[in-house]
Structure 1
């Protein structure tokens, strides 16, 4: 009896790389010191600059004596407002891609002092140590004026901003009559909040190394979240063509938003290099890292009204934030409240107060990390007054439609986040009575909060080059500030063409590469990843067309959609024995290289019919020492719905880092201003407190399954921001549960716990 031949099982994406916990492809370079950062690029004859900062917060420079500094052998020049080269005077030339409306700060522009630690001079010398010493010899005479750095005082002059650039959406118009509904509510809360100033403080301080070439062109190594933004800024301010300026930034040691705008060390370095016609490096010191943007101080009021069954009937959220005297820096602080829960009567209000500080700057989850915790703490207080479980209250007012716009969410698995997070945390074992859970002198508290962030996509482009040996190089002018962009893009490219990870390399951080937006806002995978997929899809289509058209080939006569790409092969889906390697296809077609470039454009029509967002549920456990008032965050469970997760290992790390920062926001981080001097006083790591290893205990991350075919071609949402948004509120709510004290001023320090 002759056996019938077996029919091979159809293949279903056997070469998939998306979704695998791949280790960082750039990890070895980072841990061995092979990765080079902005201040580590060297060249013969490199000079060094050191910035002198102002000693007052507002006023004028009357005189500046630089003679002693210039007299030192090896000092090349001292640049001040009196001798700097002529530059464009109009604001438009100084704008960058992240600039708010108004007039950007222009270093060394004139004698006016706008804020404390403002750069007022640049000393350039043959060595960094000499430049730093020479700066100490400069004598400056000021005429000080009365400054305004106290937001509580400045809020009396707060104003309502218009619709600014940068994606700011003014609060939606009121719906219903929130004030009347609040007055008539069966149960209500009315809380006031303060959010302290925070500074980004990445491990790598801001630096720019400008290599001056003999033909007058520049290679700029800058700490930036957007090489093209840096290039455009330099070209505009110094009237240079884009061919004359190349920006190279392959590695960034953390940024968190501080690299979205070109900072003043870039301007100083280019100014010195183009004037002296030699290469120059300028690097900021840690105290000088407090001399530019920060998360703005914010004052908020959240008032909620509800029926006795927990149904929300009124919501009022008002916020006042600081901005500089010259720019209207805005954040979306209150809008999230109108989106989070069903409520018929909502009034949201947002104002700015001008102060004598540098313009604030986007910092991880700007606006949401400030506004959402205020709402979530108020919801917890409302639950307490209702005698209702805080989780039950949130589910009672859950919405599948964005109440601000009446649009459905493209996807929203927040309910699953609550369910899975509560189960993992053991929420059902919580005794709802404050101060009821303890171990000796340690009061134990459990708190919950939710988080929300946008799922955005911008236009981006990518190039790809496939060699006959099956190696693929893909590139885009994005950045990698730490989330693992090199690896994620490598996975997307490898997945699309069915290649092993080792056969793919991704290039970034170079202004010569195809266009990419700033890396920030959790949209790089969505934007650049979609472009990488698009260009690899084009190569895939070309290869498939070649393979099925080869007269003597095993894939002759098939259609492109009949093929699977895996392990460097093109394989017939229905019959895996019919296959050709990429090398065989290209050789048979007489090709050594296949190249292409593609641009990814958001699905504007379908996206605009929906609200796109990521969501999270955070559960926190704290232990509060009853005598000392110290707080330990002993457990956190963060359940996140962020669409398709490209790399669960790196995504988990992103959320872990965000939770750590959320702990810092809740308990430690605070830039303290001496109002008499108008200056941040704890501008170093000795006194600006951030979480350390001893502060961090168990953190558990859950990625809830979520499918979204609208958000972008990958179905992926970013996780850099969503991990932090609700954490401060969950911790504050846990502290209330432990102590019975409702604390609304962040950070919640020991003195606030003991003094209330």
Structure 2
């Protein structure tokens, strides 16, 4: 029996593959007889098209040019207006002459080489019948294409009268621009048909979702679609659903009769996949003189597309984060001629809490109260929205730990009172929370006679360390050295796993891995009549295989389940130029049981640095005339890099519970 591995800072088991270039990403798989595809995209946001492909078809190396005029009819379903499009309901690719947004795919060119495909795409002639585009969120009626209202609200108590009667009130509007994920690896798909079966090498955070979407669209069984995605070079939520380029690659491969590769350019990443939607929020807080919240009114307004509904969980944290008897949240979405937004880096909570926590700071200033103290005075004992106890809530401990490490007691509250020479120094803090998610998952463990183990599940790893943490869980459960355990992921032929997002992978897949390994271990020991697993595996001399399926119980009916934290930041602001530099950050998080502290710390730091980008840099500049992103490149869309992030000053404490 080896020493316990859960809770140890193990280095990434896939690290060597990545730093040596041996890790194979979606666009890098070698497939015989591979052709290449390029997409022709609309330059208008709304209207109808006519396409002349004659010159493109004559171009060197061209195998096929696919448009709405000659594309096979696909088995799409109409969108039913649920919060996210269901399988088979998404953008109907190359099925008619209707354009819904700038950048929409309107033709696909397949050629022998990428250069030939790109050239031929440039000579496709498109005639547009332009129509007025809805690109102004404030002027769009909140009605979905299905005719259903795109506005809903939740009330508790009497928030309007309580706000009017409150002794101290703040009422502010907060705007977040559209933001794009910008992972370093662009999206790519290789599609290869074998009769009525399809293999996709794809960049995704959920291989089974891709298989089911493509199966529905092409009218084949999901078992006939194999999706392979072992390495993902960052995604941040952009890979949580299937995008049009996957359908295009499969369509191109079917028409061409050979495998096709389609890789999005950096520019296409701004309209080929989703983004964090532009939001306008109004947060109004009312409190007594002692800082007790008496009313919260929080309104959120966000963009979505005209052909799908996507609803950000914008206001969910407002209903439980701070204690308040009178709460009103109202969410409105604006269907516009833009492509569909999606989940991005703490979706919903990151946007909504920016407004809520900023308003709490405004209230603290009005009350002349320490913002930490204000939050402590409004710390709830239970989830007042669901009327359930919290499974755990470490907010007080996080405030205390981060404030102590940061040196918050030395803060002076008077604005412009802290300086470093001519530069103004600001100290700020905010609460953090995210739901604890858990979904059904399966895993398989195989014990081999040579004393090694193979463990597998169709999970993904976009960077948080799934390869490593699952190997740790397996090795710890089996009692084997970690180097004797191999974990495999990212393939629909493996046991099913849920989405790699929503902070659910460890709770879901980790539980399945643990259960499968425990089952295999117990079986091996029983068959061999031994208490030592390696001895039992050698003595039995055959492969022992075990599969486990896990699913959530009734925990969410009995508890409100969230992780909590606090972040403290020091900034330096040039009073003349307004230039803002983040000098240091301290975070404390109640993260539950931590499998790998090194990887967990990396995740916390990544979230904090992502916050720098969201607050100070990231902004997809949209042309209001046509919905086009005008800075669709990494030269003009700023993301935080090492020079922007105070790595030496970033600290965090992960509080074990």
**Given the alignment, which residue of 41, 53, 62 partners 2:41?**
53
Q: 1:528 to 1:413 in 2, by over 3 A?
A: same
What is the deviation of 1:406? 1.5
What is the deviation of 1:647? 0.7
**Given the alignment, which residue of 140, 148, 165 partners 2:126?**
140
**Given the alignment, which residue of 230, 234, 239 partners 1:254?**
234
Contact preservation (8 Å) 1:655, 1:701? no
Q: Larger C-alpha radius of gyration, 1 or 2?
A: 1
Aligned counterparts of 2:344 and 2:615: Cα–Cα separation in 1: 15
**3-state DSSP of counterpart to 1:608:** helix
| Structure 1 equivalent of residue 614 of structure 2 | 665
What is the deviation of 1:543? 3.3
| Structure 2 equivalent of residue 276 of structure 1 | 256
Q: Deviations over 1:690-734 (max 9, x none)?
A: 112211114434334343xxxxxxxxxxxxxxxxxxxxxxxxxxx
| Structure 2 equivalent of residue 564 of structure 1 | none
Contact preservation (8 Å) 1:160, 1:350? no
Contact preservation (8 Å) 2:82, 2:309? no
What is the deviation of 1:515? 0.8
**Given the alignment, which residue of 362, 377, 384 partners 2:365?**
384
Contact preservation (8 Å) 2:478, 2:533? no
Contact preservation (8 Å) 1:411, 1:706? no
Structure 1 range deviating more: 652-661 or 387-396: 652-661
What is the deviation of 1:671? 0.7
Q: With structure 2 as the length reference, what TM-score do the two structures score?
A: 0.96
Q: 1:23 to 1:293 in 2, by over 3 A?
A: same
| Structure 2 equivalent of residue 576 of structure 1 | none
| Structure 1 equivalent of residue 587 of structure 2 | 638
Aligned counterparts of 1:73 and 1:336: Cα–Cα separation in 2: 56
Alignment of 1:674-685 (within 5 A): 674-685=623-634
Contact preservation (8 Å) 1:640, 1:701? no
Contact preservation (8 Å) 2:443, 2:547? yes
Q: 1:96 to 1:126 in 2, by over 3 A?
A: farther
Aligned counterparts of 1:153 and 1:652: Cα–Cα separation in 2: 44
Paired residues, what number? Answer: 653
| Structure 2 equivalent of residue 343 of structure 1 | 324
**Given the alignment, which residue of 344, 350, 367 partners 1:369?**
350
Structure 1 range deviating more: 63-72 or 377-386: 63-72
Aligned counterparts of 2:626 and 2:81: Cα–Cα separation in 1: 30
Contact preservation (8 Å) 1:246, 1:512? yes
| Structure 1 equivalent of residue 142 of structure 2 | 158
Contact preservation (8 Å) 1:527, 1:600? yes
What is the deviation of 1:169? 13
| Structure 2 equivalent of residue 586 of structure 1 | 537
Contact preservation (8 Å) 2:84, 2:311? no
Q: Deviations over 1:153-190 (max 9, x none)?
A: 33xx225999x9xxx9976x422211111111111100
**Given the alignment, which residue of 122, 130, 133 partners 2:108?**
122
Structure 1 range deviating more: 238-247 or 480-489: 238-247
Supply the RMSD in Å over aligned alpha carbons: 2.2
Alignment of 1:547-626 (within 5 A): 550=529, 570=531, 581-588=532-539, 590-604=540-554, 606-626=555-575
What is the deviation of 1:96? 12
| Structure 1 equivalent of residue 520 of structure 2 | 539
Contact preservation (8 Å) 1:656, 1:699? no
Structure 1 unaligned residues grouped into runs of 5+: 1-12, 554-569, 571-580, 708-756
Structure 1 residue 480 and structure 2 residue 464: aligned? no
Contact preservation (8 Å) 1:462, 1:532? yes
**3-state DSSP of counterpart to 2:424:** strand
What is the deviation of 1:95? 12
Alignment of 1:447-466 (within 5 A): 447-466=428-447
Q: 1:95 to 1:346 in 2, by over 3 A?
A: closer
Q: Deviations over 1:114-147 (max 9, x none)?
A: 0001111111100001110111111111011111
What is the deviation of 1:30? 0.5
What is the deviation of 1:395? 0.4
**3-state DSSP of counterpart to 1:198:** coil
Contact preservation (8 Å) 2:144, 2:335? no
What is the deviation of 1:240? 2.4
Structure 1 residue 72 and structure 2 residue 59: aligned? yes
| Structure 2 equivalent of residue 737 of structure 1 | none
Contact preservation (8 Å) 1:290, 1:683? yes
**3-state DSSP of counterpart to 2:275:** coil
Q: 1:327 to 1:592 in 2, by over 3 A?
A: same
What is the deviation of 1:281? 0.3
Structure 1 residue 323 and structure 2 residue 304: aligned? yes
Q: 1:434 to 1:338 in 2, by over 3 A?
A: same
What is the deviation of 1:583? 3.4
Aligned counterparts of 1:258 and 1:699: Cα–Cα separation in 2: 29
| Structure 1 equivalent of residue 641 of structure 2 | 692
Q: Deviations over 1:42-81 (max 9, x none)?
A: 22221000001101011110x2111111111211111000
Q: 1:381 to 1:227 in 2, by over 3 A?
A: same
Q: Deviations over 1:491-547 (max 9, x none)?
A: 001111111110111110000001111111110111101100111111232234346
What is the deviation of 1:348? 1.1
Aligned counterparts of 2:597 and 2:436: Cα–Cα separation in 1: 18
| Structure 2 equivalent of residue 435 of structure 1 | 416
Q: 1:407 to 1:101 in 2, by over 3 A?
A: farther
Q: 1:227 to 1:20 in 2, by over 3 A?
A: same
Aligned counterparts of 2:287 and 2:56: Cα–Cα separation in 1: 67
Contact preservation (8 Å) 1:158, 1:320? no
Q: Deviations over 1:584-617 (max 9, x none)?
A: 22344x342110100011122x332000101110
| Structure 1 equivalent of residue 199 of structure 2 | 219
Aligned counterparts of 2:637 and 2:217: Cα–Cα separation in 1: 34
Contact preservation (8 Å) 2:84, 2:309? no
Contact preservation (8 Å) 1:319, 1:350? yes
Contact preservation (8 Å) 2:33, 2:258? yes
Q: 1:659 to 1:705 in 2, by over 3 A?
A: closer
Q: 1:431 to 1:174 in 2, by over 3 A?
A: same
Q: 1:97 to 1:387 in 2, by over 3 A?
A: closer
**3-state DSSP of counterpart to 1:383:** helix
